[in-house]
Amino acid sequence: MRAWLWVFAVALVGSFAQSLGAEQRAHTERISGSAGDVLEDNPVGRLKVYVYELPSKYNKKLLQKDPRCLNHMFAAEIFMHRFLLSSPVRTLNPEEADWFYTPIYTTCDLTPTGLPLPFKSPRMTRSAIQLISSKWPYWNRTEGADHFFVVPHDFGACFHYQEEKAIDRGILSLLRHATLVQTFGQRNHVCLKEGSITIPPYAPPQKMQAHLIPQDTPRSIFVYFRGLFYDVNNDPEGGYYARGARAAVWENFKDNPLFDISTDHPTTYYEDMQRAVFCLCPLGWAPWSPRLVEAVVFGCIPVIIADDIVLPFADAIPWEEIGVFVAEEDVPDLDTILTSISPEVILRKQRLLANPSMKRAMLFPQPAQSGDAFHQILNGLARKLPHHKSVYLKTSEKVLNWTAGPVGDLKPW
Ligand SMILES: *[C@@H]1O[C@H](CO)[C@@H](O)[C@H](O)[C@H]1NC(C)=O
Ligand SMILES: *[C@@H]1O[C@H](CO)[C@@H](O)[C@H](O)[C@H]1NC(C)=O
């Protein structure tokens, strides 16, 4: 019953696609309204960034010790550093800087199996701030309000991968005034500070490029997902991991022929996403995952299952229009929700996803390209200028508490 409905939908989408193909080729579609324009903003000339020079123990040495840090989903912190060093927005004169950047690699501490741990990050961050605030006068002027930090771990500057513990810690107190550039985004959450810039996780651009298949390949998979449904090691009783949403996907749809879902990661993973209409992007430990990036890059409509998620560059990317949002509690109705989306709506989302500016904004390529995620971060920082006069503190006015937090975090790095 469901299967024939779906076949019908595919046929419809196919014929729509054919009739619209010519029109689509005639002009590259831009996102309507201001969204598309914002994505194409050029940050050069709109802000100047000063990059602090730190001893290599805060950055390069860590990478030398474990080069795998370049390949995991938090690698944006390293590539952002490299990007800024040669970016035209960089200034060598701190007196003219709008923003100050402290290059610390907070997630480059990997377990033998490659899992990045954030437990040393508070100590490293505090130590770096101590250093810049004693060596240069700029931190003390605002206690960091014109400084930004890239903190890409699961819960950003809360520096823990389990939500409850991250919430207990809260955002490292020394970062209270700074702008945080982070993958984590969830509304009304202690780990998301107002004014933070939410970015996509790092996904390897060359590798994705190498797996592209012809654009006109039919999308014969209705719903696609690869990944964990349960995390038995870290959540033995179940229900905590993904707040039970992934488990609900498995329990309800493991035998549904419309759902191509499994824990196996096939070598054709990227190709399969290009053959799918919908790609599930449920929360895991954190609300976000690299699937968001992969879905956009591979033109698969992201089905976002993560209540209150704040998506990357949400002020520039029309996520509501390209994706489908399903409340965590509605997962049992996922089949009905997705099969009742009309072919016209599917086609419109696919056409928006085909817009190259959308894909570019999701990636951190080397070398950088205009409109990529690096540029979107700079655009986000530029939109926050000028800094409000109130961020400049009076002499001797101090707000931040340098001794808050566990004693172990207070040691120099
Ligand atoms: C900034 O303030 C800290 C703490 O009050 C102080 O130790 C440091 O010397 C100040 N930095 C500069 C450059 O004056
Ligand atoms: C700073 O934090 C420490 C540890 O939580 C606390 O003992 C101290 O009273 C705080 N200082 C101020 C000025 O709030």
Q: How far apart are CA 123 and CA 100, in angstroms?
A: 20
- Closest atom of ligand 2 to 402 CA is 1
pLDDT of amino acid 166: 94
Quick check: is 219 in a domain? yes
Point out the ligand nearest to the CA of residue 393. Answer: 1
Quick check: is 142 in a domain? yes
User: Does residue 140 have its Cβ closer than 6 Å to ligand 1?
Assistant: yes
Q: pLDDT tens-digit profile of 39-66?
A: 989 999 999 999 999 999 999 999 999 9
**Domain containing 220: what range?**
8-31+204-361
Together in a domain, 356 and 210: yes
Mutate which of 400, 403, 407, 410 for ligand 2? The one with the most ligand atoms within 8 Å of its CB, which is 403
Together in a domain, 219 and 187: no
Together in a domain, 196 and 169: yes
Q: How far apart are CA 406 and CA 413, in angstroms?
A: 15
Angle formed by the axes of helices 2-26 and 343-353, to 10°? 50
Together in a domain, 337 and 387: no
Together in a domain, 342 and 404: no
Q: pLDDT tens-digit profile of 349-374?
A: 999 999 999 999 999 999 999 999 99
Quick check: is 226 in a domain? yes
Q: How confident is residue 320, by pLDDT bands cut at 50, 70 and 90?
A: very high
C-alpha closest to that of 332 among 403, 225, 233, 248: 248
Q: What is the DSSP string of 201-263?
A: PP--HHHHHHT---TT----EEEEEES-S--TTT-TTSSSGGGGHHHHHHHHHTT-TTEEEES
Point out the ligand nearest to the CA of residue 132. Answer: 1
Quick check: is 235 in a domain? yes
Quick check: is 41 in a domain? no
CB distance 338 to 303 below 8 Å: yes
**Distance, CA 409 to ligand 2 centroid (Å)?**
14
pLDDT of amino acid 2: 44
Element housing 374 (H / E): helix 373-383
Nearest-CA residue for ligand 2 atom 5 is 404
Helices (H), ranges, 254-312: 269-274, 291-297
Q: How far apart are CA 36 and CA 136, in angstroms?
A: 39
Together in a domain, 208 and 296: yes
Quick check: is 376 in a domain? yes
Q: How confident is residue 199, by pLDDT bands cut at 50, 70 and 90?
A: very high
User: Does residue 134 have its Cβ closer than 6 Å to ligand 1?
Assistant: yes
C-alpha closest to that of 150 among 172, 129, 181: 181
Quick check: is 311 in a domain? yes
Window from 112-116, 128-132, 137-141, 168-172 with minimum mean pLDDT: 112-116
Could you count the other beta carbons within 10 Å of the beta carbon of residue 28?
10
Together in a domain, 93 and 120: yes
- Closest atom of ligand 2 to 401 CA is 1
Together in a domain, 186 and 79: yes
The CATH number of residue 324's host domain is 3.40.50
pLDDT of amino acid 398: 80
Contacts for 55 with CB less than 8 Å, ≥ 6 apart: 131
Together in a domain, 251 and 278: yes
Nearest-CA residue for ligand 1 atom 2 is 140
Nearest-CA residue for ligand 2 atom 14 is 401
Together in a domain, 215 and 198: no
Read off the tokens for 374: 């690096």
Nearest-CA residue for ligand 2 atom 6 is 404
Domain tally for the chain?
Answer: 2
Residue 367: strand, helix, or coil: coil
**Distance, CA 128 to ligand 2 centroid (Å)?**
20
Q: pLDDT tens-digit profile of 215-267?
A: 899 999 999 999 999 998 888 888 889 999 999 999 999 999 999 999 999 99
Together in a domain, 280 and 340: yes
User: Does residue 137 have its Cβ closer than 6 Å to ligand 1?
Assistant: yes
Q: How far apart are CA 381 and CA 375, in angstroms?
A: 10
Together in a domain, 134 and 230: no
Q: How confident is residue 396, by pLDDT bands cut at 50, 70 and 90?
A: confident
Quick check: is 37 in a domain? no
CA 37 to chain centre: 21
Instruction: Find the residues whose C-beta lies inside 6 A of ligand 2.
Output: 401, 403-404
